[in-house]
Amino acid sequence: VQLQASGGGLVQTGGSLRLSCAAAGRSVRTTRNNGMGWFRQEPGKEREFVATINWNGGGTYYAESVKGRFTISRDNAKDTVYLQMNSLKPEDTAVYYCAASRYATGSSQVGAYQYWGQGTQVTVSS
């Protein structure tokens, strides 16, 4: 499965962005049966969990640092997962990665994920 993340950019503090992650390519496999997650990474730091969603969208889980500001959702008909980010802060600046879990449920653990997108840069200016 190839994942393509998009929607990053430069935004001021308090602004919003919506990231998208679509399964792409000629593979017959999709992500509709997989838990999906968003992670982020700053230079020199470990990849950090942001949000995750179960295969059917029935369960979501967020990092404390983004709870109440970010919303993860999915449209299985489009094989796409979204991350709506509101009230952005400078500390949200990072490269954001989407990933497909090995399982139907989501997870906050990097090791649970089998496929990763290429990342999209989010920069929040103060």
| pLDDT tens digits along 24-44 | 765 546 788 899 999 999 999
The secondary structure of 26-63 as a DSSP string is: S-S--STTS-EEEEEE-TTS--EEEEEE-TTS--EEE-
Q: What local confidence, expressed as pLDDT, does residue 28 receive?
A: 47
Looking at residue 29, its pLDDT comes to 60
Does 21 have pLDDT greater than 50? yes
The reported pLDDT for the residue numbered 1 is 78
Work out the percent of the chain whose per-residue pLDDT is above 70. Answer: 96
